[in-house]
Structure 1
Amino acid sequence: MPLDASAPVRVARPSLDLRAAERFWALGLGLDVLYRHEADAALGHSALLMVGLPGASWHLELVHDPAAPVEPRPTPEDLLVVYLGEPVPDALVARLEEHGGKRVPAHNPYWDTWGVTLRDPDGYLLVLSTRTWSNG
């Protein structure tokens, strides 16, 4: 089977402001900018920003097409959950808020019990969970 546990995963979604997104995800959360591409109308390329952790098998791709921007349409259940396995540091929440995030109550109270929910500049939700997770 071509799909296995080591298959890289990309989560891609639209962004209206890649600079604001970079401040939140890189400066706020601490992800690295893995790749950046500016828009090129002549080639039909959108601008994109990929953030993640070096060596991880996943990354987040944020895309913006200045010629035809796609409005982000997150729902209350569109969550990116990061399992910290420890209490969420107040300093991390403050840094995310300083870089464009907004702490919000979770739609599902489970996440308020087990973490902190923040809205990113495009309206998508990041949950920092105190729990651990394993697919094993």
Structure 2
Amino acid sequence: MTTPKFRVVRPTDNLDALLAFYRDGLGLTVFDRFQDHDGFDAIIMGQENAPYHFAFTRTDKHQAGKAPTEENLLVFYLSDHAEWENAVNRMKAAGFLPVISFNPYWDKKGLTFEDPDGYRIVLQQTDWVP
């Protein structure tokens, strides 16, 4: 079976604030950005050759609001320590400081950052073990 590709789509009320977090902080590439496509604006981001994309959408039809809990996470496993340090330093240089994780497990080998909508990403300095 081939590895499926996937896109995580999430609404927001502020595309530009998320752009700074995910592009400048996390280092994702903007693949597409559009306005007023059937009433929706969006930014699609990811990493070249990765099997995933993130799409952040905005519409005047409803308010997206904030994350429902502090445990709404995307976890990035970075096994190489230098790569992990670079990712952490890029987040800090973009103006995003680590926060204490709701689940203390993530603070043992990683750092958690909160995006402008209250959703969190963890930069975990360990191997991915399914």
Tell me which interval the TM-score lies in, with the shorter structure as reference length.
0.7 to 0.9
Identity %: 34
Aligned to 1:122: 117
Following superposition of structure 1 onto structure 2, how do residues 28-67 of structure 1 map, counting pairs within 5 Å?
A: 28-40=25-37, 44-67=38-61
C-alpha separation between the residues in 1 aligned to 2:104 and 2:73?
13
Say if 1:100 and 1:121, in contact at 8 Å, map to a contact too. no
What's the TM-score, normalizing by structure 1?
0.82
What's the TM-score, normalizing by structure 2?
0.86
Does residue 1:8 correspond to 2:5, yes or no? yes
How many Å apart are 1:97 and its aligned residue?
A: 3.6
Q: Which blocks of at least 5 consecutive residues in structure 2 are unaligned?
A: none
Q: Which blocks of at least 5 consecutive residues in structure 1 are unaligned?
A: none
C-alpha separation between the residues in 2 aligned to 1:72 and 1:14?
10
How many Å apart are 1:69 and its aligned residue?
A: 2.6
**Aligned residue identity for 2:91:** L
Aligned to 2:107: 112
Deviations 1:65-109 (A, max 9, x none): 1343321324122110000103331x5334324435341111111
Q: Stretches of 4+ moved more than 4 A in 1?
A: none
C-alpha separation between the residues in 1 aligned to 2:76 and 2:126?
9
Return closer, same or farther for 1:62/1:13 CA change in 2, 3 Å cut-off: same
User: Cα RMSD between the aligned structures?
Assistant: 1.9
Return closer, same or farther for 1:96/1:74 CA change in 2, 3 Å cut-off: farther
Return closer, same or farther for 1:113/1:8 CA change in 2, 3 Å cut-off: same
